[in-house]
Amino acid sequence: MSAQTKGEKVFTGIAVSSGVCRGKVLVLHQTRHVITQRALPAAEIPNEIKRFEQSLLRTRQQIAEIQRRVAETMSSSEADIFDAHLLMLEDHVLIDEVLKIIRDQSANAEFAFHSASEKYVAVLEAVEDEYLRERAADLRDLSARVLDNLLDVRDQFDLRHLTEPCILVGHDLSPSVTAQLDKNFVLGFATDIGGKTSHTAIMARSLDIPAVVGLKTVSEELTSGDYVLLDGYSGTVTVNPTDRTLFAYGQLEKNKATLEEKLHEILWQPAVTLCGQAIHLSANIEDQHDIDSVIQHGAEGVGLFRTEFLFLNHTDSPGEEEQFQAYRTVAAALKPHHVIIRTLDLGGDKFASQLQLAQEMNPFLGWRAIRFCLAQPELFRAQLRAILRASTEGNVKMMYPMISGLDEWNQATAMLEKCKAELRAEKIPFDENLEVGAMIEIPSAALIADSLAKRVKFFSIGSNDLIQYTLAADRTNEKVSHLYEPTHPAILQLIKMTVDAAKKHKIWTGVCGEIGGDPVLVPLLIGLGIDELSCAPAVIPEVKYMIRRIKMDEARALAEFALQSESPTEILARCLALARATAPSLFNDLG
Ligand code: PEP
Ligand code: MG
């Protein structure tokens, strides 16, 4: 039954891309292939195998074409998603199994492929791991395309030719579907499944379109033409919204539009508090394609360049030359602002398939970041040389992730000096005064901050890890997310120790973890003496808006209160109260 015959109904899911939109939905039902088994005469088997191989080839061409289009219209990280599809197409275990079914059972290719791929999808879907479940969705998407080619079915929806604005609703919107859409006609996305890291979410954020995923049954309950209101802030989809709901959202949209104007006004203004204290406000990036976003959001350079993303989704590790090109492009584009390049932080929850890291019992406590680099001198050397070479192209700084003690710092420094000596001998220029800092993201580093501060040029607090390691709460596990508290007194003490040591030795301290981009926590961090905040480009304007309204005495009083308090909840409540009083426009939500 269409939702049009019912009253207002609210579906609640996970907000993955902010914004509100309203309009008619277009429900994309997945093409259901009817697969029947046919017994083939033995003489036809070679032809059937050929037909299967041709369908793989055709699928490969289609995906490569989509990938090319995506790379043109979005960034390469979106296009890289299709590398996974291409890799699956070459998966020999899957292909061998299909060939075996065709040969052993004299079966038709569609039946053989469908049976084999469904088996893998079922295995991946059964795993309690969001990432692997999303790979199941990738495999489904790919299988549907191969079956379309075997059965000669043409794409059911050509989203490039939409004629009126709509909100797309589907069980899942596969990357190959979203890649085709005409952004002018798609107001938002809503899907039954997915999480914050699902590809639909990645695409929606990149296209700046409001999106909600994980709505469970929305694609079954809605019919094309139903009128909905999609809230990408709180993660709801309201079908047949009442006048009251529409009025409330009308207000919200007006407030957001007014806020956007206010944020726009300060886009090119400096990040200084009301009493003139300058805070360095920079951006976190993942590759050179983020440069435009950094500039457009008014960031002062880059406080964290997560270089491991150059290694993820690639079949080969990028060598010295490829890395050099990426680093120099960013440094040159953002000069004179600094670009802090963090050396490789692979391991933990970030794996590069080409490096074949062994599975570990406790990956976050294992062979990760600087530990991994020190054990892979050739890999580390290539990166250090690339960074050194790029240092002549702009204001480059470098930092090491996961420093836990002086030994690692000393080993990394020795390696760096060796690379400098090599470059000198090769007469390759680099900045002799390249500043090198350490991330403070392990409690032991904060506890020996005084010793580290004598050696480093700056600190950058990686609060995402500092919180997980201090509170023993896995940052990726929703079951312990209630323990993951940025305002826990232990965290604040570690930040204070770090800042005190830095000030004593006349170096500066930044925060590049997620808390640095949370306007609620910004006054507290500034009150604690943080000099630099680095966050996702999209949140820079809000953080700057907050900074420009802060009075330092209020921020310091908040920090003093927080350092005395024994309760994370009480501290958070105070932060929220001050943030709301300081910048009420940032908190004009429905609640
Ligand atoms: C952090 O840990 O806060 C950080 C910025 O590093 P990453 O999130 O990449 O681990
Ligand atoms: Mg970290």
Which residues are annotated as catalytic? 199, 512
Residue range 42-151, CATH number: 1.10.274.10
| Pocket lining: 512 vs ligand 1, CB cutoff 6 Å | yes
Residue 149 has pLDDT above 50, yes or no: yes
Q: Is 441 in the pocket of ligand 1 (CB under 6 A)?
A: yes
CB 11 within 8 A of CB 69: no
For residue 443 and ligand 1, the question of a CB distance below 6 A is answered with no
Average confidence (pLDDT) over 191-216? 72
Please tell me the least confidently modeled range out of 209-213, 322-326, 446-450: 209-213
Helical axes 109-126 vs 130-151, angle rounded to 10°:
170
The number of the ligand nearest the C-alpha atom of 307 reads 1
Residue 181 has pLDDT above 80, yes or no: no
In angstroms, the CA 433 to CA 209 distance is 43
Would you state the pLDDT for residue 103? 93
- When pLDDT is cut at 50, 70 and 90, the band that residue 214 belongs to is confident
Strands 227-231 and 20-28: antiparallel
Q: Which residues neighbour ligand 2 (ion) by CB within 5 Å?
A: 441, 462, 465
The CATH number of domain 9-31+157-241 is 3.90.1150.10:
no
pLDDT at position 440 is 98
* Residue bearing the CA closest to ligand 1, atom 8: 464
Domain ranges, ordered by start, for the chain? 9-31+157-241, 42-151
Q: Which residues contact 459 (CB under 8 A, 6 or more apart)?
A: 437, 438, 439, 440, 449, 452, 453, 498, 502, 507, 508, 509, 510
What is the Cα 120 distance to its own chain's centre? Answer: 26
Q: What is the pLDDT of residues 409-424, one digit of tens each?
A: 999 999 999 999 999 9
Indicate if 42-151 has the same CATH topology as 9-31+157-241: no
Q: What is the pLDDT of residue 208?
A: 73
Which residues are CB-contacts of 477 (< 8 A; sequence separation ≥ 6)? Answer: none
pLDDT band at 128 (very low <50, low <70, confident <90, very high): confident
Take residue 412 and report the two structure tokens written for it. Answer: 């990394």
463 lines ligand 1 (CB under 6 A): yes
Helix, strand, or coil here: 8?
coil
Cα separation, 180 vs 397, in Å, equals: 39
Whether the pLDDT of residue 5 is over 50: the answer is no
* Distance from C-alpha of 231 to C-alpha of 241, rounded to nearest angstrom: 12
pLDDT at 449 > cutoff 80: yes
Ligand showing the shortest atom-to-Cα distance for residue 516:
1
Tokens of 160: 């490039």
The pLDDT of residue 18: 80
**Whether pTM exceeds 0.95:** no
How far apart are the C-alpha atoms of 313 and 85, rounded to whole Å? 11
490-512, pLDDT tens digit by residue? Answer: 999 999 999 999 999 999 999 99
Q: Please give the pLDDT value at position 1.
A: 40
| Phi (first) and psi of residue 53, to 5 degrees | -65, -35
**pLDDT (0 to 100) of residue 192:** 87
Q: Are the beta carbons of 80 and 318 closer than 8 angstroms?
A: no
State mean pLDDT over 18-42: 83
Question: Is the pLDDT at 70 greater than 70, yes or no?
Answer: no
The single residue listed with the structure tokens 């919204």 is 241
What residue has token string 């009126």? 164
For the segment 457-483, the average pLDDT, to the nearest whole number, is 88
